[in-house]
Amino acid sequence: MNSIFVNSKNVFLDTVNSKDYVQLDRVSTIYQSLKDSIKKPLKMILLYGKPGTGKSMFLTKLHHDLCESSNIYLYQTPILDESEFYKTLAQDIFQTKYNDTLNFTQFMKIVKNQENQEIPVVLLDEAQLYSELLMEKIRLLSDTRSIKFVISLHKTEREDLIAKEHFQTRIWETIELENASKAELKIYIQKKLMKANCFDTANMFSTHTVKKIYKLTHGNYRDTNKLLYTLFDIYTTYEQHSNIYPLNTTKVPNKFVEMAAIHTGLIHA
Amino acid sequence: MLNIHELEKQWKIYKIKSYLPYALIIVSLSIIALITYIFYDTQTKTRLQHIKKSPTVKHVQVNIKKIKARDTNKTIIQLKAKKISKPKLQTEKQDKLLPSMNFMKNIQHEAQIYTHSSDPIKEKTTKRIRKKIKKKTSTNTIEDVRIKEVPKIHKEQKPDITIERKETQNDIMDIIKRFKKNNNPALSLFVAKKYYELGKYEQSYNYALITNQINSNIEASWIIFAKSLVKLNKKNKAIFTLREYIKSSHSSNAELLLNEIKSGKFK
Ligand SMILES: Nc1ncnc2c1ncn2[C@@H]1O[C@H](COP(=O)(O)OP(=O)(O)OP(=O)(O)O)[C@@H](O)[C@H]1O
Ligand SMILES: [Mg+2]
């Protein structure tokens, strides 16, 4: 089955893939400034924002763009065991393999012995999952200026506190990612669909429909993805049920958006 | 796979729920409107009944009995006439003119209520409206009791009254309106005469009395007063009043009428 609705549905699967990255003005500026910051002699960069604001996507894209030209490493899922963490970094950055456990002092020695021309950049996603102890070690590592860390954090009250206590004095740059505005949301949806050659469905998202979606998702990328995935799921279902409902690609009925919102739990019936 | 039928059901429930508050507001507003309508409707009805129960003829009887019992000295009679006529004037005003005004007020209240009910803060205002209604009704009853306040309100409401009654007694009401402004006995006498012509003897009696109170030397007023009494089957009182008047005024017209009444020529 290769319907336009199925294709459109798959566009909104909640995956993080640099290929799917959509260029949005605000995100692009942030992206550029982060790229510049990496080149600057900063110790640490903190990237934070509410869940679903595109932090993982951002890091993935950054890694994808820079991995060929620079010494950059991305860890999407945190390595929670301290020894494992050092071992992984030692192997990836310094090509040093360890079979035994590796402690902080030993790893510090390796880091200091390196005389790299270029300081390696380590991107740590989901950093709120690291223990406070390991976080403190990461801070000490970055103080040596031998490794540069870009840390991505959920922004909640608790994590705000972590950000303040652990990084305030040491972080040289903080970058916040936010939900999309109405205009950005429209661009986001349409560009995403057009990337997958779903031009007809991209056209369905008038300003009115986007407004309705914005009301429900507040411009959160993940919520929007979920909503639109369900929306096109509804379309496909109607399509398969021999057109119980007259389907067209001129506009999205409010009913469908509301049904999708009920299904995804954005509104409670 | 999406369970589309279940989802449609949920969506319908959601839609109904989202329209429910609006439906409730509309229903409650119409109920309030209905209640206020019924409330004022019954109020005006009871007021009309109240008027019917207290005809002015009774006052006339009582007052003239009093005069009879007393000394027939000229000056005393004049004083009495003034004293007696005062409360009568007031009761007359109260009984005859208040109802139409209350009716007008009610209309105004209702108008106020309707403008209030279009207020966006619906729940709060409905409460306020109810309070207002209560307040307004209480003031209504107070107005009935406090006779002295009545004239003030008359002035405020005058234009409304004429509009109300124009359908039936156009010119009379116009004159009454003017009379209330300047208290000119010529106008009240005119009204008394008009009412007499229309066969409304209670009214003609009342306005003749008002005229006499303002100026006790108008012959035509005393004549209308006596004639009205005869028409109201108070022949004896008419004769008595005329005699008293003749004593002070020596009016030949009054004497003529007195003879006619006595002989039964005037009925
Ligand atoms: N610029 C973008 N272009 C394309 N897709 C994006 C973009 N930004 C966000 N998304 C999409 O939004 C979804 C959520 O983004 P992402 O997973 O990066 O959020 P997050 O901030 O990392 O959330 P969390 O804090 O829960 O990890 C992803 O599926 C991603 O595809
Ligand atoms: Mg993430």
Cα B130 to ligand 2 centre (Å): 57
Mean pLDDT of chain B: 69
pLDDT for res B113? 44
Residues of chain B in contact with residue A241, where contact means CB-CB under 8 angstroms, are: 4
pLDDT for res B265? 87
Residues of chain A in contact with residue B8, where contact means CB-CB under 8 angstroms, are: 259
Ligand nearest to the CA of A159: 1
Cβ of A219 less than 6 Å from ligand 1: no
- Give A115 or B3, the one with higher predicted confidence: B3
pLDDT for res B29? 95
- Give A241 or A82, the one with higher predicted confidence: A82
Cβ of A130 less than 6 Å from ligand 1: no
Model pTM score: 0.58
Residues of chain A in contact with residue B10, where contact means CB-CB under 8 angstroms, are: 259, 262, 269
- Give B90 or A30, the one with higher predicted confidence: A30
Mutate to test the interface with B, among A247, A256, A266, A267 (most CBs of B within 10 A): A267
Out of A61-65, A79-83, A182-186, B41-45, pick the least confident: B41-45
Nearest CA in chain A to B17: A269
Shortest alpha-carbon distance between residue A235 and chain B (Å): 10
- Give A99 or A192, the one with higher predicted confidence: A192
Q: In this complex, is the C-beta atom of B14 within 8 Å of any C-beta atom belonging to chain A? A: yes
B80-113 tens-digit pLDDT: 444 444 444 444 444 444 444 444 444 445 444 4
CA distances to A23, A153, B14, B120, B235 from B242, in Å: 110, 110, 85, 67, 11
pLDDT for res A38? 78
pLDDT for res B139? 43
A155-181 tens-digit pLDDT: 665 555 555 555 555 556 778 889 999
Inspect the interface and report whether the beta carbons of B11 and A259 lie closer than 8 Å.
Answer: yes
State mean pLDDT over A131-147. 86
CA-closest residue to ligand 1 atom 29: A14
Cβ of A87 less than 6 Å from ligand 1: no
Nearest atom in ligand 1 to the alpha carbon of residue A23 is 1
Out of B52-56, B156-160, B174-178, pick the least confident: B156-160
Inspect the interface and report whether the beta carbons of B17 and A269 lie closer than 8 Å.
Answer: yes
Residues of chain B in contact with residue A233, where contact means CB-CB under 8 angstroms, are: 2
What is the interface pTM, i.e. ipTM, of the complex?
A: 0.77
Cβ of A21 less than 6 Å from ligand 1: yes
Chain A, chain B: beta-carbon pairs less than 8 Å apart = 31
pLDDT for res A173? 75
Inspect the interface and report whether the beta carbons of B14 and A237 lie closer than 8 Å.
Answer: no
pLDDT for res B64? 47
pLDDT for res B160? 47
Mutate to test the interface with B, among A9, A232, A263 (most CBs of B within 10 A): A263
Identify which of B14, B34, B23, B161 has the alpha carbon closest to the alpha carbon of residue B101. Answer: B161
Q: In this complex, is the C-beta atom of A257 within 8 Å of any C-beta atom belonging to chain B? A: no
pLDDT for res A257? 95
Residues of chain B in contact with residue A230, where contact means CB-CB under 8 angstroms, are: 2
pLDDT for res B53? 53
pLDDT for res A207? 94
Supply the DSSP string of chain B, one letter for each residue. ---HHHHHHHHHHHHHHHHHHHHHHHHHHHHHHHHHHHHHHHHHHHHHHHHHHS-HHHHHHHHHHHHHHS---HHHHHHHHHHHHHHHHHHHHHHHHHHHHHHHHHHHHHHHHHHHHT-S-HHHHHHHHHHHHHHHHHHHHHHHH-GGGHHHHHHHHHHHHHHHHHHHHHHHHHHHHHHHHH--HHHHHHHHHHHHHHT-HHHHHHHHHHHHHH-TT-HHHHHHHHHHHHHTT-HHHHHHHHHHHHHHH--HHHHHHHHHHHHTS--
Which residues fall inside 5 Å of ion ligand 2, going by CB? Answer: A 56
Shortest alpha-carbon distance between residue A260 and chain B (Å): 9
Cross-chain CB nearest to B11 (options A230, A233, A269): A269
* pLDDT cut 70: percent of chain A above it: 89
Out of A186-190, A229-233, B198-202, pick the least confident: B198-202
Shortest alpha-carbon distance between residue A20 and chain B (Å): 25
pLDDT for res A133? 87
State mean pLDDT over A184-193. 95
Q: In this complex, is the C-beta atom of A247 within 8 Å of any C-beta atom belonging to chain B? A: no
